Amino acid sequence: MPPTHRAVLFLAVCSACAGVSVRPEAVRADSLPVVALSADTERELGRHVDAAIEAVMRRHYAAAERQARQALDIDPRRARARAVLGMVLFQRSTLADPPDLFLAHAGEADLILAEQLAPADPFVGWMHAVMLAEAGHMTAAAATAEAALGRTEAAPANERAALLGVAGTYRYELGEERAALPHLQAYVALRPDDATARFRLGYCLLRLAGLPSGPKPNSLVVAQGQAEAAAAAFRRGAELVPGDEDVALAVGAALLRAAELAEQRRDTAARDDRRQQALQQFRAVADRFPGSAEALFRVGVVAEAGGEQQTAREAYTQALARDPEHLGSLLNLAAIAEHEAGAEDAVRELLRRAIAADGRRGALSVAERSRILARLEPPAGGATPP
C-alpha cells in the first residue's frame, strides 16, 4: 500500500480507537490524494468497482465491502466505490442494537464524499438517498434524490431511472402525491413494465382527481383527465400482474371517479360511458376472482349510481353468497330494503348481521356502529329484537 494511503488508513483507525465519531458534514473530498493510474491499473480499478456495485445491489455486503476497499486502495477518489463503502458501513451499523453510531456516521461521511467527488453521478445520488430511506429519514431521502436529479440532468436517461424511481417512491410514501407524480411519470416512461410503479402512479393520479383545485369547469376537466390516466396506469399494472385483484379493482374505481367528474360537468354522455366501463371492469374482476365479494359489491354500487336498484340488489346478494359478512353489501342491501314495504324484518336482520360482522372484523367507525345500534333499538313499549 502506498505511504499516503497508509497514512489515511492510520488516521481512520486512530479515530476509531479513540471512539471519535466522524462528523459527516465536516468531510472534504479535497483532502483525498490524487493518484495517477496506468491503463492497466485503471482497468483493474474498474473491475473492482463493477464487482462492488453488483454485490451491493444483491445485498452481499461483505463482498461489496471487500471490492470497494480494494478499489479505494487503488484510488481513494473513486466515487462509486466510496458510495458502496458508505452503504456497507451503514448496513453494518444496523446489526447492533442500538445501531452503531460510529459506523453510521462513517457510512454517511463516505456517501457525502462520493457526492462531492462525483455530484453528477446518478448512482452515487441514488445510493445516498436509499441509505437515508433505510435509516428512516424519508423526507431527507426524497430531498436527496431530488437534489441528485437536479445535478444529473446531463446523465443518460437509463442511468437516472433508479433515481427517478426512488424520488417518486419516497414522495408517494410520504403521502405527497403531487410531488411524486412527475417522478413516477418519468420513471415509468423508462421502465414501463414496473407494475408497482404503475400502481403508485395510478394512485397519485386518482388522489389528485379526488381533489380538483382551481376554477371550474377547467379544474373538473383536469381532474377527469387524471382519473382516466389513473385507470390507464392501473390497467397496465393489472396486465403485468393479472393475479392482483386490488389493481384490477382500482381500474374500475378510477373509471367510476371519471364518471362522477363528468356528471359534475353535466357531460352525461361521458358519465354514462365511464360508468358502463367501470361496471364492465368490476364484472370482469368478479368473473376472474370467483371468491371475491368485493367486485360484486362494486357492481352493486355502480348499478345504484345509475338508478338500477334491482341490479344492485342482485349484486349485493351475490356478494353475500360469496362472503356472508361482507359489510358494505349488508349495509347497502339494508338501505335498499328500507324503501320496500314489509321489509322491516329483513332490514333488521341485515343490520344485526352487520353488527356481528363488525364485531369480528372491526370495520365500522364508532359513529357508524352507534347509528346502527340505535336503528336496532325497539320502539318505545315494543319488544326487544331477538
pLDDT tens, residue order, the chain (386 aa): 444 443 333 333 333 333 566 788 889 999 999 999 999 999 999 999 999 999 999 999 999 999 999 999 999 999 999 999 999 999 999 999 999 999 999 999 999 999 999 999 999 999 999 999 999 999 999 999 999 999 999 999 999 999 999 999 999 999 999 999 999 999 999 999 999 999 999 999 999 999 998 898 899 999 999 999 999 999 999 999 999 999 999 999 999 999 999 999 999 999 999 999 999 999 999 999 999 999 999 999 999 999 999 999 999 999 999 999 999 999 999 999 998 888 899 999 999 999 999 999 888 999 999 999 998 987 655 554 44
**What is the reported pLDDT for 24?**
85
- Which CATH number is 60's domain given? 1.25.40
Q: What does the alpha-carbon distance between residue 259 and residue 361 come to, in Å, rounded to a whole number?
A: 31
Enumerate the H helices of 191-308 as residue ranges. Answer: 195-209, 218-240, 245-264, 268-288, 294-305
Per the CB < 8 A criterion, the answer to whether 205 and 223 are in contact is no
Task: Look at residue 331 and tell me if it is in a domain.
Answer: no
Residue 2, preceding peptide bond in cis (omega within 30° of 0)? no
Quick one: CA dihedral 108, 112, 113, 114, positive or negative? positive
Q: What does the alpha-carbon distance between residue 123 and residue 161 come to, in Å, rounded to a whole number?
A: 10
**What is the reported pLDDT for 13?**
33
Q: Closest by alpha carbon to 131, among 159, 157, 99, 97?
A: 99
Task: Look at residue 147 and tell me if it is in a domain.
Answer: no
The cell for 135 is 435509516
Q: Residue 343 burial by CB count (10 A; 0-12/13-18/19+): exposed, middle or buried?
A: middle
How many folded domains does the chain comprise? 1
Task: Look at residue 43 and tell me if it is in a domain.
Answer: yes
Give, in degrees to the nearest 5, the angle at Cα 249 between 245 and 253: 165
How many Å from the N-terminal Cα to the C-terminal Cα in the chain?
87
Task: Look at residue 347 and tell me if it is in a domain.
Answer: no
Q: Closest by alpha carbon to 270, among 252, 256, 284, 249?
A: 256
Backbone angles phi, psi at 107, to 5 degrees: -65, -45
**What is the reported pLDDT for 1?**
45
**What is the reported pLDDT for 20?**
60
Burial 80-90 (b: 16+ CB within 10 A, else e): bbbbbbbbbbb
Q: What is the DSSP string of 363-374?
A: -S-HHHHHHHHH
Per the CB < 8 A criterion, the answer to whether 209 and 223 are in contact is yes
Per the CB < 8 A criterion, the answer to whether 337 and 346 are in contact is yes
Q: What does the alpha-carbon distance between residue 300 and residue 332 come to, in Å, rounded to a whole number?
A: 9
Q: What is the DSSP string of 133-159?
A: HHTT-HHHHHHHHHHHHHH-TTS-HHH
- Report the 10 Å Cβ neighbour count for 366: 7
Q: Which residues contact 208 (CB under 8 A, 6 or more apart)?
A: 177, 178, 181, 223, 226
Q: Which residues contact 369 (CB under 8 A, 6 or more apart)?
A: 355, 358
Quick one: CA dihedral 380, 382, 384, 386, positive or negative? negative
Question: Containing domain of residue 88, as a range?
Answer: 1-118
Residue 98, preceding peptide bond in cis (omega within 30° of 0)? yes
Task: Look at residue 140 and tell me if it is in a domain.
Answer: no
Q: What does the alpha-carbon distance between residue 131 and residue 106 come to, in Å, rounded to a whole number?
A: 12
Task: Look at residue 96 and tell me if it is in a domain.
Answer: yes
Is 50 in a helix, a strand, or coil? helix
Q: How many CA atoms lie within 13 A of 31 on its CB side?
A: 8
Task: Look at residue 317 and tell me if it is in a domain.
Answer: no
Task: Look at residue 66 and tell me if it is in a domain.
Answer: yes
